[in-house]
Amino acid sequence: MFRDKTAILAIDQGTTSSRAIVFSKKGEVIALAQQEFAQIYPRPGEVEHDPEVIWATVIGTARKALKEARAKGWKTACLGITNQRETAIIWDRKTGDPIHNAIVWQDRRTAKTCQQLAADGHEGVIREKTGLVLDPYFSATKFAWILDAVDGARERAARDELAFGTVDSFLLWRLTGGASHKTDASNASRTSLFDLKAGRWDDGLCELFNVPVSGLPEVCDNAADFGTSLTAAIGEALPVTGMAGDQQAAAIGQACFKPGEVKSTYGTGAFLIMNTGPEMAVSQNRLLSTIGWRIDGQTTFALEGSILSAGATVQWLRDGLGLFSKASEIEALAASADPDCGVYLVPAFAGLGAPHWAADARGTIVGLTRGAGRAEIAQAALDAAAHQTADLLEAMARDGVPTARLKVDGGMANNNRFLSRLADFCDVPVVRPVNTETTAWGAAFLAGMGAGLFGGLEEGRKLWHADQKFEPQIRPAVRDAHRAGWQTAVRQTLAGI
């Protein structure tokens, strides 16, 4: 069937699982391995991961996928990495041992630090340089917290004995046996330490957040030479030639290469990214300016809206409330609900993201009656992701960049009922691609570019194909009623802070 048996490995390290996928150059999945891992919740609002568990699941899935691809006669040429963004790790430069658990992007323990920085008048300069709001979501305050919390860490950092990084940098360090301490421009842009326009770590921001710049990784283009994996790590010595944060990788996998093209990925959270081209767009509605990607030194910028809980809400219904045993069962359960029951779930388990950025908000269910049951709560959970997406699209429209269609991916994109409600509430066509492994494919495509297997981004557009389009179906008055009910629920949630 295949003449060219050249393959690419993508490591997709996510918030709740690690995955490894071997792709053909056409984007077909040759082999896939996945392993979930435990979340650590030390206190309310705090989320950690064990970096050693992350590492074990990454090398375990990579070895399994590579072995399966070899058995099918494929030769893997290179490796790309994509990762949960903002999650912060600090490790020993000699041993590679972490000095503390990873502080996950969802973690809110540094909310008071952010509030103090805002009170001291620093929010404006942070926003101007980084494109980000001042929020615990980003990496800078997490790095500082670890340095302050671990005995002797500040002194060790001053002696340049420690390395700081997001998950991509930690994995790269381990994969290369400590030979490479690098990151890419998209991940760097999520730390609050990177000047977007200058394209480098900012000394002033590092001083402000009290994070020594000497510990940070070298920032590279997204398709570049990041080093070579050790055979002892994953069973093969592969050049690491592509890297991107998961949401930027998904935008590449969705071929959002022209200004105005937008995608939304529904994983643990949900993240909507719109390509804004070579100029950095500044939102007046608390959306984020970020780097989409940097290729051959040329930066493409994006606007982003961040939803902190999407698939995590479904996971909570499964594991916390026991409403069903498998996440896939929510579609049928929600389909049995009264579609106009008036139940709304605001999933502020770790605060609300864009456009509210309310770190202290907590989850709320409103509109319950004796007629509401499992099905209505399941539907409200799916609707919450749809309503939050609509909030982001409305914010982008107010910023002067309306959306003509929305490309979707991630686990929830396999749920037809959710996508139908998404189209209804957002009032735009929603398109699911044939290849829903867009995050991993984006990393693989970047690695292929870095290894010379692809000539440029436009080759990626030729490999993207639509699977199904969902058109808005409900009447405007019904949509308006649903949206008004959601907005009332959000106001009630914010009023409880």
Extents of the domains making up the chain: 6-245
Evaluate if residue 194 carries a pLDDT over 80.
Answer: yes
For 420-466, the pLDDT digits (tens) are: 999 999 999 999 999 888 999 999 999 999 999 998 898 988 999 99
Query: Which pLDDT belongs to residue 44?
Result: 86
Query: Which pLDDT belongs to residue 496?
Result: 74
| Residue-averaged pLDDT of the chain | 93
Q: What is the CATH number of domain 6-245?
A: 3.30.420.40
The residue type at 90: I
For 230-274, the pLDDT digits (tens) are: 999 999 999 999 999 999 999 999 999 999 899 999 988 899 999
- Of the two residues 229 and 403, the one the predictor is more confident about is 229
For 72-88, the pLDDT digits (tens) are: 999 999 999 999 999 99
For 272-309, the pLDDT digits (tens) are: 999 999 988 888 888 999 999 999 999 999 999 989 88
For 201-222, the pLDDT digits (tens) are: 999 999 999 999 999 999 999 9
Which tokens hold the place of 271? 């993240």
pTM for the model stands at 0.88
